[in-house]
Amino acid sequence: MPNKRFSIFSSEVFAVEEGDQLIIEIANSHVACLVTKDNKRVIAACELFTFAEGEAEKLDQLFTDISRDSKILSSTPASAKIFINNEFCVPVPIFKFSKEIAPEYLNLVYGEDFSSKINFQHVPVEPGMMNVYRVNEDLYNYLDKRFNKATFHHSYTNIIRRVTSSAALVSDEFIAVQFYDTFLIAAVMKNGVLQLIQTFAYETPEDVLYYLLNITQRFELFSETLTIKISGMIDLDFKLYRELITYFKKVIVENETVPASIPELGEHPLHYFTPFFNLAL
């Protein structure tokens, strides 16, 4: 059964109205929903639902259960911007990209999958890049039918755009890490160039440290000046954060600016919401 982790709204009486933009992120174990208003510049609502990975196989039941407990999904907005958050994504330099062989990029890395649809999306960075990704065809068809005027994107696209645009403001070498309950996404920047973006499943703080230390060695990052930029589901009072600041000298917590339209964030710290708010910015 899906569990509502948090729900925040611009007012106690909230409803999705004509002209609002619905933003949904779907992963193996969560669905995040946001609503933007006023020509998509104001975040008016955000909800997060988590569930066991097996529940995602029964799409209709999953969304029925979530909609029953969601102020956002109980309405039908005019348009929906859907982000697929999975690991089956390969960024390709635009001068090497060809839509005819796009499936081969994924087959080479992940093997063949005949139950998935291949999508690709331009990433507005320099040099140009295309994100080639898979989405389960049943999921794609279900969402396309359920939501009006649905457009599909991959969460990596948004992350790449943000880390690339902010590279000069952080440091020559940094790793941006977004934490979720059972996985993290790490994006590695070196001298203003994206080196890696990848999803890693984890269970313990030791798993996270292993991944980050391995990345540091693999890309020959200088640990004395390397910045680790973190956001998402990480508790700053728990062991994982203490381990990070022990092994890395510069750890920055990314706190996205609180939307003025949302006065209260409840019991959760601001950095919990950053990966989701960033989808709307």
- Domains, the chain, ordered by start: 3-77 (no CATH), 89-159 (no CATH), 166-256 (3.30.420.260)
Would you say residue 260 has pLDDT above 80?
no
Q: Residue 75: how many CB atoms within 10 A of its CB?
A: 15
Digit-coded pLDDT (tens) for 116-168 = 999 999 998 887 899 999 999 999 999 998 887 889 999 999 999 999 988 77
Digit-coded pLDDT (tens) for 165-205 = 887 777 889 999 999 999 999 999 999 899 999 999 999 99
Digit-coded pLDDT (tens) for 65-122 = 998 899 888 776 667 899 999 999 999 999 999 989 999 999 999 999 988 999 999 9
Give the pLDDT mean for 12-33: 85
Would you say residue 241 has pLDDT above 60?
yes
Give the pLDDT mean for 23-36: 94
Find the range with the poorest average confidence among 15-24, 114-123, 155-164, 268-277: 15-24
3-state secondary structure the chain: CCEEEEEEECCCCCCCCCCCEEEEEECCCEEEEEEEECCCCEEEEEEEEECCHHHHHCHHHHHHHHHHCCCCCCCCCCEEEEEECCCCEEEEEHHHCCHHHHHHHHHHHHCCCCCEEEEEEEECCCCCEEEEEEEEHHHHHHHHHHCCCEEEEEHHHHHHHHHHHCHHHHCCEEEEEEECCCEEEEEEEECCEEEEEEEEECCCHHHHHHHHHHHHHHCCCCCCCCEEEEEECCCCCCHHHHHHHHHCCEEEECCCCCCCCCCCCCCCCHHHCHHHHHHHC
Kindly report the length of the chain: 281
At 246, the amino acid letter reads T
Provide the pLDDT confidence category of residue 227 given band limits of 50, 70 and 90: very high
Radius of gyration of the chain (CA): 19
Would you say residue 39 has pLDDT above 70?
no
Would you say residue 250 has pLDDT above 90?
yes
Percent of the chain with pLDDT strictly greater than 70 = 92
CB-CB contact of 89 with 120 (8 Å)? no
**pLDDT score for 54:** 79
